[in-house]
Structure 1
């Protein structure tokens, strides 16, 4: 009980502290791990404590990758910018970093190469968590970032297998038959209902069948969790399953960040190594930026993707634990410091791009990526931004009376709505260039129905900034957010739950009059 009290106490205290200064709580969890290590001799932590925490951390990573898989469309990952960007960046990073480490650190060429490999990866945990928090996993730059991370994770698995001298079991070939299980998985998910059975179904796939099952045949449990999550990505209740796993996943991920901090206290040489590597982080992001520009991405998408990948990876620690255990503490510190730098940069990525866009836009190629073509509003009278349940309901209510056009930043949702006969296009409301290229002359009203309140504020502000004088109507769950959206330029922002109550009351009145 003492052990759990120490973990929870340190994690909560430092997580709350860093949150008050505008940093993500995960940085506090890293600091908590170092603090626990610093006082472990005095409080006498039991020897098995590290193993318990390691197990908790592993479960957290499995659940995170499973929920990432739930939001993935594999067809969108098999793209030149994803495979090419991931492989070329990895190759260039290793070719540049290995000789430099070999000459500067007076180490063997093999050690230098393995260190370069470990430092070439970007953090799947941090990037996925930040993108998920910002609801950008399905935005174009989010899909590119996650795709590249998957490519890197697969490279890491290959490196670990080769360095450890182990090969997958012949039974591993059975994984190629997993897509045949999709109909069965769909039926099981439908039969699980909406309560605890759905939660247990997700845990079963992520931790047992995906995680432990893949490990039994010599493959990575992380890969297994991701694969089984992706198998359910197109199910209509994938989002519901992801939300049901949210709290459990967040709790176990605290253990992951604590574990990094509890790897040991760094000495002076470790600090010097980590600080120098963190100073090189901008080069990592810049290389991603130019590679993605080469693959026809616009400057905004390349910039946001590069910022998401501008950090060092927990997979680097896994590689080090297998092939370079003596370098584990310096690498753990490097990863931790990269998180400290990368997390606030990701939070400020959109405002930062707006400040730099004039310098970055001239670097774009004249050829546009197929997913980022300019849009034409045609003769539409009303624009609906965000086509979830609220936006779709508004569209269906207005379609017989007005000429409508809608947009969403989720490509799979756009494709599904097109199949339903909806006039919709793919775009991101937080894209500076998107607003500059729109012609509003025939638009009389805009409905803001995106999930994210910040996106609504940006949309309302940009509409007014670029001269739109028509009606802007939005909705919000909370009064304080509603007021901010109105201040940004919306004519009216309705409280969602209040409007639902009014609608219910109206139905009652109508029935009583009949």
Structure 2
């Protein structure tokens, strides 16, 4: 595709939009549709575009903006707040998948270097896709959502380090290897020092003036990311490393959120060309062999990756439900896996057929994992009994007699639950709070509130609670199915006190009332009514 082929560009964009619409109707990520369009318009299909030229340039810009945003939004605080579980699951899954994936690749007849690339590519999960799906399901703030985002950050850091190592040492050979290594470290130190000096003395003052114009802020962000990426490539580290460092250098500034929000749309548009390029580069000369290997690797990613996360989280005594929901998020490979494969091809380490294999695995696992995440709760209801046999959360339970003097048992110490606990204790009530986030339990320091670790879906956990003494059980958890399980457990244990449950929709509220819950709280409805009364009074006044 040449720059002057304006009608051809328009046709490709229109086709991408149409395929994107079809993907959304099938509840699939747009990545799948865009790679499909690349196959259709590439040499294998209609032969409209080539993988290089204009498409290749726009694809490289898309990768640079993507890695710039990853560095810009690098939130190490989130990794710290999710505790050791983020590091354990992130690194544990990377090690497990790399080792087992390498052994599988060798059994399939791949050479050592190819097997290493395939194994490493299988380890990383897509932050973009997972965050989007969890956000749509309103599960980012739940425990499994925060843990998933935590270990995804760990994986992003690992993949950047891998790319740094590959670009730095990938082409080093000859008799002067020690000298080459020393030169690489010197160049790397120089690059890091330069970026650090910009962070300390230049960027904060410069951004203060640039940010006066939002359009100029966006232009500066892109120009800075591409410039550092180009400098990094000239030093032999690859443009990806430079773009990431550029984002990291702007992360401490107060303008990172505004800049990141404005660049998201540009990132999504430019990444379209990266996925088009991938599709155009796919080769099907050895389709039979690729399909066999693709099926094996896809099953491994769809089953093995979630399994290792579930095992690690159960060993760390997280509830089976939390481990299962967090584990399903890693059942696909990432856009970074595709970037890594392209990098390996550019360095001459792997051939086009291997890139095609990794891309096919990406298509299959991204499509399959989307449905796994969307229907995760239904799947858990089918497998919950089997997983509960291996649940080790009993190690966190308190003895039944340890909390006898309570008036209210409150499930959930989130924003709404914490405020409610404060109001109840201020009114003189003794509260026993139950939450399945061990960090919320550990941080609780409210007078009159005793916090214990437990899950609302663990029927056996109710045996440890002083149900006979509690006058009321309150659930601030807005999940209808979780509340139904809790209500069933209370009745199974012949609880006679009051029940107060929370609902975020009228449908859920109606079902809870039909199940004879004493009081259903609808926070959004109450807030809207209170706001309406205040506005009405203000307008009349």
TM range (shorter): 0.7 to 0.9
* 1:29-48 → structure 2 map (5 Å cutoff): 29-37=34-42, 41=46, 43=48, 48=53
Structure 1 443/297 Cα, relative in aligned 2: closer, same or farther at 3 Å? same
Q: CA deviation at 1:339?
A: 0.8
Aligned equivalent of 1:118, options 99, 121, 128 = 121
Deviations 1:173-205 (A, max 9, x none): 4389599869x969979x969xx84x9768866
- 1-structure distance, mates of 2:256, 2:452: 21
- 2:151 corresponds to: 145
Q: 1:324 aligns to what?
A: 350
C-alpha distance in 2 between matches for 1:392 and 1:151: 33
Change (3 A) 1:242 1:180: closer
* Aligned partner of residue 467 in structure 1, secondary structure: helix
Could you tell me the TM-score, scaled by structure 2's length? 0.69
> Can you list the C-alpha shifts for 1:459-486, whole angstroms capped at 9, x where unaligned?
433343333774546464xxxx432443
The aligned counterpart of 1:98 is: 102
Aligned: 1:163 with 2:170: yes
Q: Aligned partners of 2:258 and 2:472: how far apart in 1?
A: 35
1: distance between equivalents of 2:272 and 2:498? 47
Where 2:480 maps in the other structure, the secondary structure is helix
1:272 maps to 292
SS at match of 1:220: helix
Shift of 1:100: 4.3
208-217 vs 30-39, greater mean Cα deviation? 208-217
From 397, 401, 404, give the equivalent of 2:427.
401
Contact 1:407-1:427 at 8 Å conserved across structures: yes
Could you tell me which of 317, 323, 334 is aligned with 1:313?
334
**Matches for 1:2-13 after TM superposition, within 5 Å:** 2-13=7-18
1:108-257 to structure 2, matched below 5 A, reads 108-137=111-140, 139-140=143-144, 141-161=147-167, 162-165=169-172, 169-174=188-193, 197=214, 207=222, 213=228, 216-217=231-232, 218=237, 220-221=241-242, 223-224=244-245, 227=248, 231=252, 250-252=268-270, 254-257=272-275
- d(CA) in 2 for partners of 1:426 and 1:246? 40
Is the alpha carbon distance of 1:133 and 1:98 closer, same or farther for their aligned partners in structure 2, counting shifts above 3 Å?
Answer: same
Identify if the C-alpha distance between structure 1 residues 55 and 6 changes in structure 2 by more than 3 Å, giving closer, same or farther.
farther
Q: Does 1:432 align with 2:451?
A: no
Q: Which residue of 1 aligns with 2:281?
A: 263
**What does residue 485 of structure 2 align with?**
462
Q: Secondary structure at the match of 1:310?
A: coil
Cα deviation, residue 273, structure 1: 2.6
CA deviations on 1:288-329 (whole Å, 9 max, x unpaired) are 433444455443343333322222233333332233242212
**Is 2:365 the counterpart of 1:338?**
yes
Measured in 1, the distance between the counterparts of 2:219 and 2:406 equals 49
Stretches of structure 2 that go unaligned for 5 or more consecutive residues are: 1-5, 173-183, 492-496
- Contact conserved, 1:60 with 1:251, CA < 8 A, in 2? no
Question: Which of the residues 304, 308, 314 maps onto 1:287?
Answer: 308
User: Which runs of structure 2 are paired with 1:49-60 in the superposition (5 Å)?
Assistant: 49-55=54-60, 57-58=62-63
Q: RMSD in angstroms over aligned alpha carbons?
A: 5.0
1:361-380 equivalence runs, <5 A: 361-365=388-392, 379=406
- How far is the alpha carbon of 1:354 from its aligned partner? 3.1
SS state of the match for residue 490, structure 2? coil
The 3 A distance-change label for structure 1 pair 135 and 292 is same
CA distance in 1 between counterparts of 2:281 and 2:123 reads 21
Where does residue 178 of structure 2 map in the other structure? none
Counterparts of 1:401 and 1:484, CA distance in 2: 29
- Residue in 1 aligned with 2:180? none
Would you say the 8 A contact 1:311–1:342 is kept in 2? yes
Deviations 1:272-292 (A, max 9, x none): 332232122223332343344
Alpha-carbon distance between aligned partners in 1 of 2:300 and 2:107, rounded to the nearest angstrom: 17
Q: What secondary structure sits across from 2:308 in the alignment? A: helix
CA distance in 2, matches of 1:175, 1:373: 52
| 8 Å Cα contact 2:230/2:242 also seen in 1 | yes
CA separation of 1:280 and 1:31: change in aligned 2, threshold 3 A: same
Offset at 1:163? 2.2
